[in-house]
């Protein structure tokens, strides 16, 4: 796990042990990545939807787990409006979001 400067500052503010704060500050940040201009709006919307994942709980024989099942599509339209996405771009961006959602589900689903 990579801890950014904000998390390290929060650790210090909440009185974490100095060694822990130092270790957090020494962690290398994740490498930056490029987003093509034509994908930027979709990335912004997908990022804004990061708390809108639907999850299902499964249990049996003393074990339980939560599984991501997809984004809450009902949250997309308000995000479009709040970010200022033009109406004529929304359908295309939705298709881009679905591609990112599918890739995220592949990474999030347990093996």
Domain boundaries in the chain?
1-32, 36-108
Q: Percent of the chain having pLDDT more than 70?
A: 90
Classify the phi-psi angles of 15: left when phi > 0, otherwise alpha if psi is within -120 to 50, otherwise beta: left
Is residue 40 within 8 Å of 84, Cβ to Cβ? no
pTM of the model: 0.68
Classify the phi-psi angles of 84: left when phi > 0, otherwise alpha if psi is within -120 to 50, otherwise beta: left
* Alpha carbons 104 and 50: distance in angstroms, whole number: 11
* Alpha carbons 96 and 43: distance in angstroms, whole number: 9
* Alpha carbons 111 and 102: distance in angstroms, whole number: 15
The string of pLDDT tens digits covering residues 65-74 is 888 899 999 9
The string of pLDDT tens digits covering residues 10-53 is 888 888 888 888 888 777 566 678 899 999 999 999 999 999 99
Residue that has been written with the tokens 């709980």 in this structure: 57
């Amino acid at each position: 796990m990579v801890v950014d400067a904000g998390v390290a500052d929060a650790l210090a503010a909440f009185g974490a042990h100095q060694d822990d704060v130092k270790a957090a500050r020494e962690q290398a940040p994740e490498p930056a990545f490029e987003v093509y201009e034509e994908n930027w709006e979709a990335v912004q919307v997908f990022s804004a939807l990061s708390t809108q994942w639907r999850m299902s709980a499964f249990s049996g024989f003393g074990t339980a787990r939560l599984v991501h099942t997809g984004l809450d599509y009902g949250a997309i339209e308000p995000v479009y409006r709040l970010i200022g996405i033009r109406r004529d771009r929304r359908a295309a961006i939705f298709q881009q979001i679905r591609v990112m959602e599918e890739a995220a589900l592949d990474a999030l689903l347990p093996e």
